Structure 1
Amino acid sequence: MNPVSHTTSYYAASANDTRQRPPLDGQVSADICVIGAGYTGLSTALHLAESGFKVVVVEASRIGFGASGRNGGQIVNSYSRDIDFIERHYGAETGAELGQMAFEGARIMRRLIEQYDIQCDLKPGGIFAACNPKQLRELEAKKSLWERHGHTGLELLSADSIQQHVGTERYSGGLLDHNGGHIHPLNLALGEAAALESLGGVIFEGSPVIRVEEGNKPRVHTATGSVSADFVMVAGNAYLGGLIPKLQHKAMPCGTQVITTEPLGKRLQQRLLPSDHCVEDCNYLLDYYRLSGDGRLIYGGGTTYGAREPHKVESLIRPKMLKTFPELEGVKIDHAWTGNFLLTLMRLPQFGRIGSNIYYAQGYSGHGLTCTHLAGRLIANAIQGQAEQFDVFARLPQPPFPGGRMFRIPFTAMGAWYYNLRDQLGV
């Protein structure tokens, strides 16, 4: 078996399980075949296995190889476009239905962590930090919006009170979500994979899918084998490539970059993040950061459109970190990496079916940690004949990016430049 490596991330270096599962070899059958062992695929597979289905997961690389094992590890509720946007564009009824589900993903995740004793450095509390008074007013509106949809545990922070949680003077205030939090994302994925295997599920790694054969009994083909199943779930997201041409034009891979410092002393940790909450600012091209389980600062930000790999991640992110925490000037960076997420035009996730027995979910647009876990439950329910909630998402329009593949990157980059300028001007 040829080994397949994770990226050079802090998460891969501190993974609880480094075993590689064997590749698919020969023909197997299952009730459900899941393509992709990230959160969407694992959540779907685990929910179905809990209901007694025989599930096979086929992964091109490693469990959590993509965004699920590279992200900032922040439990952020709702969607990339919030419920008020959904209400304005798709109506009050759709807004109410999606609002009911906007906070469910975090509860699903915590249930899995507790039930299967997943060791992933779960810590409570997440802060949205306002960089200017306009953003603080928007956070006040977010608090009212979320409370209207039943989400409690929110605390508005002034410019003074936010400094009790974040050791910087950059912010005009913030919103503390006590039901947010942060985790070690790769260890969460590995723990969910182990839970699936404990229920009889099978995961094949190092097995890129080369063709999905549609029909009454779809078949998933790799170079060395195939899986015949009653249902197929496509969960490749930003790493799906051109496998399913019907999905490729609907969204665009984008890259984000992350660095991790050497372990910091307890006094410095307390100075930077005394409450040990995670933080993300409210800019369009946002910064996000938190402390790891072993006391490192994990700091991420920036976006590269079209999933271009930056040559020097540290040179991009370190200045952002020092702008927030100048006292880290001499601190060593131990890990730097990039990862891809999938951006949709409307910045809302895309759920749907191809025919009657091939499901897909993709395009979380940077808010995937919680929504992927919700997606898994909804797809599992839909396969079992309870599709009402899944169909709320599936009915949302899924427009392609304008200009096709040639122009979608420059068009999107121009839009990002515009919103970044607005952030800088505070308008």
Structure 2
Amino acid sequence: MANTPYPQSYYAASANPVPPRPALQGEVETDVCIIGAGYTGLSSALFLLENGFKVSIVEAAKVGFGASGRNGGQIVNSYSRDIDVIERTVGPKQAQLLGQMAFEGGRIIRERVAKYNIQCDLKDGGVFAAITPKQMGHLESQKRLWERFGHNQLELMDQKRIREVVACDSYIGGMLDMSGGHIHPLNLALGEAAAVESLGGIIYEQTPAIRIERGANPVVHTPQGKVRAKFIIVAGNAYLGNLVPELAAKSMPCGTQVITTEPLSDDLARTLLPQDYCVEDCNYLLDYYRLTSDKRLIFGGGVVYGARDPANIEAIIRPKMLKAFPQLQNVKIDYAWTGNFLLTLSRLPQVGRIGDNIYYSQGCSGHGVTYTHLAGKVLAEALRGQAERFDAFAGLPHYPFPGGQMLRVPFSAIGAWYYSLRDRLGF
């Protein structure tokens, strides 16, 4: 049977020790079978286990193998499209409920880290950096919007103030969110998996779901076994493939690239990011970066539509890093990798139920670290019969890509080119 290891990333190289988790052999029964041991699956499992459910997770590779263990490690609030867009899309009543949840994911992460003593280098503070006056105006509006929904840990920064937190000459201002922050994302997933197992949950690694047998008592089939369950949660996101065709038709895997420098001197690291905040700029195709616990700079950006792996990741991302920090010209890159996230046409997550007993959440659209933790709680509530918050997400429109799967990549790339051009021209 194939054994799929972690990609050669900084996160995999610095991961905390984990126990062996064998593949599923034979047949098991459970209350809930979760497909995917990333943040959505792990968060769902924890909330369900804490409420007395019996839970089994099947994972095609290893815990956190996908986006959960490869992302930039930034805790960013709200959704990929903000609450004002949601309000225009679905109206004020539904938007009010979704707005109240927009800042919950970060709190869930911190609660998990504290409750289960997860060692994942959690740091507070995230910066949104504006390059143009239009972007600065957007941040001013965003601050008012978020404060309308009770989120008050925000500070607008002028050019002088942002220079105090990031040594980049490109920014004219920004916004600091002290409820944002950053983590070692793979170690967060591994810590959550350990918490799942401490509560009696079972995780089968190297166990891809190859078929779902639908019906009153659904069955998840794997290469060497099957899981009979009362409920199924589909949490594969960009790594789900075509297991559930009706979900694949309304989403598109996309790749993003990340590099990690060699360890920097304490003085250089402190010069770049004196308060150790994470940063993302406000461009449509944004760049993001932060320091690791051992003083490396992690820098990510770019999107490859259709999730192809670029031949030379460093060649794509290093120029972006040097544009922000030319002082790193002679610094060596130790790690470079790509990872996939799942894009939806609306850039809003897709949540729903297939039949009576198959639940799903997918399509974080690059905004998944906080949302997935919230999604786990919302899915668990729905399985317990408390569906108001689930229904608020399920009511968001799920659009198919124009032209279907054949044309979704070129159409999305053209759209991204257009918005990237607007960024460069300052519109």
Scaled by the length of structure 2, the TM-score of the pair is: 0.99
Q: Which residue of 2 aligns with 1:399?
A: 399
Matches of residues 239-388 of structure 1 in structure 2 within 5 Å?
A: 239-388=239-388
Matches of residues 56-95 of structure 1 in structure 2 within 5 Å?
A: 56-95=56-95
By how many angstroms is 1:327 displaced? 0.6
By how many angstroms is 1:55 displaced? 0.3
In 2: Cα distance, 1:89 partner to 1:205 partner: 39
Paired residues of 2:3 and 2:61 also in contact (CA < 8 A): no
In 2: Cα distance, 1:3 partner to 1:14 partner: 20
1:2-26 deviation per Cα after TM superposition (whole angstroms, max 9, x unaligned): 6431011100000002443100000
Counterpart amino acid of residue 95 in structure 2: G
Q: What SS does the aligned partner of 1:246 have?
A: helix
Counterpart amino acid of residue 219 in structure 2: R
Paired residues of 1:20 and 1:62 also in contact (CA < 8 A): no
Matches of residues 161-310 of structure 1 in structure 2 within 5 Å?
A: 161-310=161-310
By how many angstroms is 1:249 displaced? 0.5
In 2: Cα distance, 1:262 partner to 1:240 partner: 33
Q: Which residue of 2 aligns with 1:52?
A: 52
In 2: Cα distance, 1:20 partner to 1:279 partner: 35
Counterpart amino acid of residue 241 in structure 2: G
Query: Number of aligned pairs?
Result: 427
1:75-128 deviation per Cα after TM superposition (whole angstroms, max 9, x unaligned): 000000000111112111121111000001111111001000000000000000
Paired residues of 1:3 and 1:20 also in contact (CA < 8 A): no
In 2: Cα distance, 1:12 partner to 1:3 partner: 16
Q: What SS does the aligned partner of 2:300 have?
A: strand
Q: Which residue of 1 aligns with 2:98?
A: 98
Q: What SS does the aligned partner of 1:155 have?
A: strand
Q: Which residue of 2 aligns with 1:414?
A: 414
In 2: Cα distance, 1:28 partner to 1:47 partner: 21
By how many angstroms is 1:395 displaced? 1.1
In 1: Cα distance, 2:287 partner to 2:19 partner: 33
Counterpart amino acid of residue 242 in structure 2: G
Q: What SS does the aligned partner of 1:160 have?
A: helix
Of 280-289 and 14-23, more deviation after overlay is shown by 14-23
Paired residues of 2:18 and 2:190 also in contact (CA < 8 A): no
Q: Which residue of 2 aligns with 1:120?
A: 120
Structure 1 position 157 matched with structure 2 position 141: no
Q: What SS does the aligned partner of 2:96 have?
A: helix
Paired residues of 1:97 and 1:392 also in contact (CA < 8 A): yes
In 2: Cα distance, 1:9 partner to 1:19 partner: 20
In 2: Cα distance, 1:183 partner to 1:350 partner: 25
In 2: Cα distance, 1:18 partner to 1:53 partner: 24
By how many angstroms is 1:182 displaced? 0.2
In 1: Cα distance, 2:124 partner to 2:93 partner: 32
Give 5+ residue unaligned stretches, structure 2: none
Q: What SS does the aligned partner of 2:284 have?
A: coil
In 2: Cα distance, 1:396 partner to 1:133 partner: 32
Q: Which residue of 1 aligns with 2:34?
A: 34
In 2: Cα distance, 1:416 partner to 1:280 partner: 18
Scaled by the length of structure 1, the TM-score of the pair is: 0.99
Paired residues of 2:112 and 2:192 also in contact (CA < 8 A): yes
By how many angstroms is 1:213 displaced? 0.5
1:165-196 deviation per Cα after TM superposition (whole angstroms, max 9, x unaligned): 00111101000001100000000000000000
Counterpart amino acid of residue 331 in structure 1: V
In 2: Cα distance, 1:45 partner to 1:383 partner: 11
Q: Which residue of 1 aligns with 2:17?
A: 17
1:187-224 deviation per Cα after TM superposition (whole angstroms, max 9, x unaligned): 00000000000000000000111100011110000010
In 1: Cα distance, 2:57 partner to 2:200 partner: 11
Counterpart amino acid of residue 246 in structure 1: E
Paired residues of 2:8 and 2:337 also in contact (CA < 8 A): yes
Q: CA RMSD in A?
A: 0.8
Give 5+ residue unaligned stretches, structure 1: none
Q: What SS does the aligned partner of 1:209 have?
A: coil
By how many angstroms is 1:53 displaced? 1.0
Q: What SS does the aligned partner of 2:365 have?
A: coil
Counterpart amino acid of residue 9 in structure 1: S
1:131-170 deviation per Cα after TM superposition (whole angstroms, max 9, x unaligned): 1111001000000000001001100000111000001111
- Give identity over the alignment, percent: 65
Of 332-341 and 83-92, more deviation after overlay is shown by 83-92
Counterpart amino acid of residue 418 in structure 1: Y
Counterpart amino acid of residue 60 in structure 1: A
Q: Which residue of 1 aligns with 2:136?
A: 136
Paired residues of 2:217 and 2:230 also in contact (CA < 8 A): yes
